[in-house]
Amino acid sequence: MIQTQGYAAKDASSRLEPFTFEREEPAADEVQIEVLYCGICHSDIHQVKNEWGNSVYPCVPGHEVVGRVTRVGERVTRHAVGDLVGVGCMIDSCRHCAPCRLGEQNYCEGPNSWLATYNGPMVPKAKAPDKKNRYGRDNTFGGYADSLVVKEDFVLKVPASLKPEVAAPILCAGVTTWSPLRHWKVQPGQHVGVIGFGGLGDMAVKLARALGAQVTVFTRTEDKLQDAQRLGAQGVLEGDEAALKQLERSLDFMLSTVPEKHDLNPFIPLLKRNGALVVVGALEPMASVNNQEVAFHRRSVAGSLIGSIEETQEVLDFCAEHDIGPDVQLVRIQDVNEAFDSVERGEARFRYVIDMASLKGEAAAAP
Amino acid sequence: MIQTQGYAAKDASSRLEPFTFEREEPAADEVQIEVLYCGICHSDIHQVKNEWGNSVYPCVPGHEVVGRVTRVGERVTRHAVGDLVGVGCMIDSCRHCAPCRLGEQNYCEGPNSWLATYNGPMVPKAKAPDKKNRYGRDNTFGGYADSLVVKEDFVLKVPASLKPEVAAPILCAGVTTWSPLRHWKVQPGQHVGVIGFGGLGDMAVKLARALGAQVTVFTRTEDKLQDAQRLGAQGVLEGDEAALKQLERSLDFMLSTVPEKHDLNPFIPLLKRNGALVVVGALEPMASVNNQEVAFHRRSVAGSLIGSIEETQEVLDFCAEHDIGPDVQLVRIQDVNEAFDSVERGEARFRYVIDMASLKGEAAAAP
């Protein structure tokens, strides 16, 4: 067993605290990783607080992990000790269902769906059709820790030209916005709208710009308008009705990156005929949508969930090639709770990334 | 001027009553039609009652019209006196915008959008960007009348093998379900779900079956389950949770034909990955949709509005070729208000069609 130090929430009302636990030694097809950096995703907060009602405790969050391979199982061929690697939201999937066979592990239809980097299988034992758990683990511990052990084919290669702390948020925020931009075939010259301008919005703007699209950002925060301009996008305040009116039927595609229930009705009229608004930020009941605006121009409101392993590698390589990446701010793990508060207040246009060096030498408390 | 007898509502609270009015003589590119049959569409009721907030009075409804050509303008080439023809929801469009140039008049983006068969332009003067009305008419009078005058290229040919009273509802209920079945490329062997089993649902089931799809109908009305079976479809009660559970992730495509706000959440889990649920019945704010179910399998909730002139001709010809059509029940125009009541109570799985012969000789009241 590997003695591991991390930070965990004991229950839905507790803050993150030092936590010591054991990981299994890497199996023949697994690699052990020393975690260097881990991004803070809004869904870490949702799950720590059990806001989706599915949290398993203790909860060690973290699914934007970059680290160094320290050990490999005997059958591992894709990674070697010393490699800089990444781990995103998934660490395994059923490998047998139609989506898995197509390489779309993020839509795994196995009885337990995919195994999340933290919080265990997406379909836990109690909700599985046969009340079984094929992964043998009801909980998994994520990247807010000094080590991680992962199947080699769920481990990504971090291109040498990407700073490791910059690569970390690409593993969730990056691929979550990349996958729908690709699936809905965003083309150079198209006009893309991005609703919400936090960690996901920042990546959505940069990726859409690098794909050659014109981009308009919709935000509630006046301070962020200049940031949008700095990225080569137009910034519009959500309440600016004249600006919204001006944009009617002008957008080919929209991504909503707002991490909670919000009203899509002001944005639907901005889509062109046949346009799609894809919600990637909020995994919950949304406000009522007026189908008149949807039907009158054959628009769609869709959803998309992170991305596949192949898409994750693709977006890492695309970011390296185009020299783009999230704006990050490093924090010590001892300050993670304050960083959570800041993210919840919607202040951060950048991504907080935990510098895991801060964990070293800390006297971890017993569980 | 053509003296015309019809039935109209004076205001949002009045019932339909006899109404005499004048139509312009046909212009060079127009045909005059003696109305033989006119279907009763649920949107006639919505508009008579001003439930969409855009009604213009007096309101002479009717956009599922079949009749005989009695006169043609001098430049008319497509239709001749004596032809059996149909008129659907539109009688003109801007002809200049991108959708019109592509033959998608139902998505006309001209400043007044398309001209509806009744109730005037879809974008009235007051809502047009320049406060103008290019069609020169703030109101239009529909097919609950003895005659109609329409631009020849918005007049459809009714195939000889279709009974005229059966052809009538194809002009709205038929094309409204046909257009999305074609746009979303429903294929033989696919599994299609139809929510709601009134006039639109009836056509959706028959068209999807004739396209080679397996069909499941979802209805609140136990009496309609056998009707579904009779059409070769599976019938499921909306509240039958075990049956819904059984159907999870099994449908390639779903059409909601329910003519009012309703909850889509029970149906979204039934879609396969990448599947679309298209709402054609309700043009209003829908109940809240849980994006978790939408995103987890990259599903879409879309809308679609009637269909183009080309698609309308296509579905008439397809129905003739496959010997299908709506189940209709003829009513006298004097009984139209009772027919409205029956449709509103959701009783009718068939389509009421007004036999306009009943209007003849009636002493029409002055407006």
Q: Which candidate from A280, A298, A300 shows the least CB-CB separation from B305? A: A298
Residues of B with CB under 8 A from a CB of A: 52, 98-99, 104, 107, 109, 183, 249, 265, 273, 276, 279-280, 282-292, 294-305
How far apart are the C-alpha atoms of A172 and A176, rounded to whole Å?
Answer: 6
For chain A, list residues whose CB is within 8 angstroms of any CB belonging to chain B: 52, 98-99, 104, 107, 109, 183, 249, 265, 273, 276, 279-280, 282-292, 294-305
What was the pLDDT predicted at B362? 65
- HEC letters along B242-266: HHHHHCCCCEEEEEECCCCCCCCCC
Interface confidence (ipTM) of the complex: 0.92
Instruction: Decide if B296 and A286 are in contact by the 8 Å CB cutoff.
Output: no
Name the residue facing B283 among A285, A295, A304 (closest C-beta): A295
- Render pLDDT for B284-301 as a digit per residue (tens, 0 to 9): 899 999 999 999 999 999
pLDDT exceeds cutoff 60 at B366: no
Mean pLDDT of all residues in chain B? 95
How far away is chain A from the Cα of B140, in angstroms, using its nearest Cα?
Answer: 20
Burial of B224 (0-12, 13-18, 19+ CB in 10 A): buried
Q: What is the pLDDT of residues B170-225, one digit of tens each?
A: 999 999 999 999 999 999 999 999 999 988 999 999 999 999 999 999 999 998 99
For residue B276, give the nearest of A99, A183, A300 by CB distance: A300
Considering CB atoms only, which of A289, A299, A305 is closest to B289?
A289
pLDDT reported for residue B361: 67
Residues of B in Cβ contact (< 8 Å) with A246: none
Q: What was the pLDDT predicted at A349? A: 67
Which pLDDT does position A362 carry in this prediction? 65
Nearest CA in chain B to A290: B285
Structure confidence at residue A350 (pLDDT): 82
Query: What is the C-alpha separation between B17 and B178, in angstroms, rounded?
Result: 33
Q: For residue B187, give the DSSP letter.
A: -
Q: Which residues does chain B have within 8 Å of residue A273's beta carbon, measured at their own beta carbons?
A: 98-99, 104, 107, 109
Q: A52 to chain B nearest CA, in Å?
A: 10
Ranges in chain A, pLDDT < 50: 363-367
**What does the CA dihedral A335, A336, A337, A341 come to, rounded to 10 degrees?**
100
**SS3 call for A77:** coil
pLDDT of residue A364: 44
The partner residue sitting opposite A99, judged by closest CB among B273, B290, B305, is B273
**B86-104 average pLDDT score:** 97
Number of H helices, E strands in chain A: 10, 17
Burial status of residue B208 (CB atoms within 10 A of its CB: 0-12, 13-18, 19 or more): buried
Question: CB-CB: which of A98, A288, A300 is closest to B288?
Answer: A288
Q: Considering only CA atoms, which of B191, B202, B205, B169 is closest in space to residue B306?
A: B169
Q: Where are the alpha helices (DSSP H) in B267-307?
A: 291-296
What is the model's pLDDT at position B347? 76
How far from chain centre, in Å, is Cα B295? 31
Domains of chain B, CATH where assigned: 2-162+325-359 (3.90.180.10), 173-303 (3.40.50.720)
Q: Is the pLDDT of residue B280 over 70?
A: yes
- Model confidence at B30, pLDDT cuts 50, 70, 90, reads very high
DSSP state of B121: B
**pLDDT, position A283:** 87
Question: To the nearest whole angstrom, how far is the Cα of A302 from the nearest Cα of chain B?
Answer: 4
**CB within 8 Å: A109 and B301:** no
Amino acid (1-letter code) at residue A192 = V
Peptide bond into A159 cis (omega under 30): no
For position A360, what pLDDT does the model report? 86
Nearest CA in chain B to A246: B129
CA distance B355 to chain A (A): 31
Q: What is the pLDDT of residue B349?
A: 67
Chain A partners within 8 Å of B282 (Cβ): 291
Q: How far is B50 from chain A (nearest CA, A)?
A: 15
Please tell me which of the candidates A284, A291, A294 has its beta carbon nearest to residue B292: A284
- Specify the DSSP element, H or E, that contains A331: strand A328-332
Give B106-145 pLDDT, tens digit per residue. Answer: 999 999 999 999 999 999 999 999 999 999 999 999 999 9
Predicted local confidence at residue B14, as pLDDT: 95
Query: What number of C-beta contacts closer than 8 Å exist between A and B?
Result: 114
